[in-house]
Structure 1
Amino acid sequence: MNEADTLDLVQYAIWTVLAAASPAVIVAMVVGVGIALVQALTQVQEITLTFVPKIVAILLAVAFSGPFVGAQISSFATVIFQRIENGF
């Protein structure tokens, strides 16, 4: 295994992490901006107003994107195991 193989695996690992985390992060960002806009318009500064809806939205996003995240991690594991099997 040389430097090019190592960099290829690291790059693939980084892309896998970004793809697996993106559904939850995007939902949290959209819900957070929406709630911040509502708070700015109504001037209601309640901490639970931001916390509870964001947690519920993230849990729903993780539940619905579970197969996608599992497929991403599974494909990464398959590539790693194939490289181990082939002796890198």
Structure 2
Amino acid sequence: MNEAIFFDTLRQGLWVAVVISIPILTAALAAGLVVGLFQALTSIQEMTLTFVPKLAAIIVVFWMSMGFMTQTMTSFFQSTVIPLIAGG
């Protein structure tokens, strides 16, 4: 395997990682903004108030997008990684 194939596969793998992580990171960002706004409006500075809603949002979004994540990773491995292993 030459360097071009290696770096192209690495680039595709990193892109798959970014695409897979977007739903979870978006949920964490949205939950953080909502909780931060709530804390700023009410002057409540409790640490668990920021942690628990973010964790709950991440778990819910992870559960909802698990099929998409699995399908994306499986298609990447079947179309890119396995042919490289089998071919060479």
- TM-score w.r.t. length of structure 2: 0.91
Q: How many residue pairs are counted as aligned between the two chains?
A: 87
Cα distance in 2, alignment partners of residues 28 and 18 from structure 1: 15
- Matched with 2:12 is 12
- TM-score w.r.t. length of structure 1: 0.91
Superposition RMSD on alpha carbons, in Å? 1.0
Residue segments in structure 2 that go unaligned for 5+ positions in a row: none
Cα distance in 2, alignment partners of residues 49 and 85 from structure 1: 50
How much has 1:48 moved relative to structure 2?
1.6
Cα distance in 1, alignment partners of residues 28 and 74 from structure 2: 25
Cα distance in 1, alignment partners of residues 75 and 68 from structure 2: 11
Aligned runs of 1:11-30 on 2, under 5 Å? 11-30=11-30
Query: What letter corresponds to residue 55 of structure 1 in structure 2?
Result: L
How much has 1:19 moved relative to structure 2?
1.2
How much has 1:86 moved relative to structure 2?
2.5
Residue segments in structure 1 that go unaligned for 5+ positions in a row: none
